[in-house]
Structure 1
């Protein structure tokens, strides 16, 4: 498992292929979880409409039903591509950073926090790389853009004409905070949670799946307000460009200063996260374990 003490054996530290396997396994696990991502995309789009328009589930579904099946999957390409690339970068870079941090750490107490610290760094890099993907996705999913930005090409041209801070990199700061904190919590918690679950007599694969599910559930609910803020900041192109705090104040007022309204769609996020991260975690941990077993036999 990524982030476990087993990764610190001498063979793992010396063999650069172990680092490469982390990138490969991260990409593979995320690629295999793109099918559930595709299946639950209507769920994601329903959540997005709730985040943007402050509607109930029934109202959001009504909007999608009116638009028809042709537009239902408008904007699905960026998350599918981003899902695979994110897994490659996130798992691989976290393991690389963990390896580097482990070499300089002699404190056992501090060592236990290294997976979370490495995850924090990986999340920051992930935010810089993938903010443009999320920006494009949110513009495409906003039905108000359908008329003047009907195609992916038109969206790319329009965003390219903007300054980076208001174009492709709109909402970079809250995305960085969300991804860094989320990755830190994920890599810091999934190992201990998996160990507790496996101690109940469940198989390693099932334990990893439950670990990924529970961890992603907690992270999604905790950081959901940041996702709502990002969606609202990125959905529009042009017009007045407000800063993060100004956008937060506008969002908070539009939700009538109600936490319950701010969390509209949160339950659907849990469903999506449980499916995708549970599967990705189980596949990744299984691949890492097999790779470690093969390296042990070779030695």
Structure 2
């Protein structure tokens, strides 16, 4: 997810390749700087993962992690840190590039930014699904015995067909990322403008708009994240399609929306911190270059 390009940017700026390069650079930088909050809230993320996989209450998930100790607590932290930085680089830069391409034939509008976000989200899914797959396998404690290290996981996934290995759950990930990026790019700019009218600074306005947009996306698309986590956590076993996996998940949640959203409040907290900071930093850098 990323910020909407400045609507006041002139045609010369839009056509400058360096402007596109700066979008990639600023996206990577803002995401890299937001990795500190990612480290801090990683235990929160792992608590959510346990709730998604095992359908446990938050206090039981916390007790499980506490008993396992700090070493296992941060097992699986490397993929999200690497993915966070590369993700921001690709998504921010690619969305800005697509907006420029679309603007050559039509006016740069909110719908243009949203459409560019949708396209960037699809590319993001193809590139980063393997990262998410490895991360989910690492975080599943049931894999600790037969897949104890990152190397063992990579070796095992290499023996699988792409659709069952690195690219398992590609379809729901693509739907989640494309829709999420589209919503984010379409709403962030207008929300920032509304907040700025209240007399707040540009940095604060960007942080708030990024936070509110991320919150809306997390709540709306949370069921897809739960589905992805359950599809990717295991290696091997019975082969099921997306709809069959959804049916199994829905039954395991006792056909309850409340149980399906278990852990959703923690997702909101994590998204507010990481994307709020990343958005504020990115917008600040873009304004400085403008």
TM-score class normalised by the smaller sequence: over 0.9
Matching residue of 2:46: 45
Q: TM-score, normalised by structure 2?
A: 0.98
State whether residues 4 and 188 of structure 2, in contact with CA within 8 Å, keep that contact through their aligned partners in structure 1.
no
Q: Are positions 1:289 and 2:287 aligned together?
A: yes
- 1:112: Cα distance to partner? 2.9
Aligned to 1:6, which of 5, 8, 24?
Answer: 8
- 1:14: Cα distance to partner? 2.5
Matching residue of 1:34: 35
Q: How many residue pairs align between the two structures? A: 288
Matching residue of 2:207: 209
- 1:12: Cα distance to partner? 1.2
- 1:2: Cα distance to partner? 2.8
Distance 1:141 1:33 in 2: 21
Q: Are positions 1:103 and 2:101 aligned together?
A: no
State whether residues 20 and 93 of structure 2, in contact with CA within 8 Å, keep that contact through their aligned partners in structure 1.
yes
Q: For 2:125, what is the secondary structure of its paired residue? A: helix
Q: TM-score, normalised by structure 1?
A: 0.95
State whether residues 22 and 91 of structure 1, in contact with CA within 8 Å, keep that contact through their aligned partners in structure 2.
yes
Q: Are positions 1:72 and 2:70 aligned together?
A: no
Cα RMSD (Å) of the superposition? 0.9
- 1:13: Cα distance to partner? 2.2
Matching residue of 2:112: 114
Q: For 2:38, what is the secondary structure of its paired residue? A: helix
Matching residue of 1:265: 263
Distance 2:140 2:15 in 1: 49
Distance 2:106 2:271 in 1: 33
Q: Deviations over 1:187-232 (max 9, x none)?
A: 0000000000000000000000000000000000000000000000
State whether residues 48 and 266 of structure 2, in contact with CA within 8 Å, keep that contact through their aligned partners in structure 1.
yes
Q: Are positions 1:234 and 2:235 aligned together?
A: no
- 1:15: Cα distance to partner? 1.2
Q: Are positions 1:140 and 2:138 aligned together?
A: yes
Distance 1:6 1:60 in 2: 48
**Runs of 4+ residues over 4 Å off in structure 1:** none
Distance 1:6 1:85 in 2: 28
- 1:121: Cα distance to partner? 0.1
Matching residue of 1:279: 277
Distance 1:122 1:14 in 2: 19
- In structure 2, stretches of 5+ residues that fail to align are none
- In structure 1, stretches of 5+ residues that fail to align are 293-299
Question: What aligned pairs does 1:77-92 form with structure 2 within 5 A after superposition?
Answer: 77-92=78-93
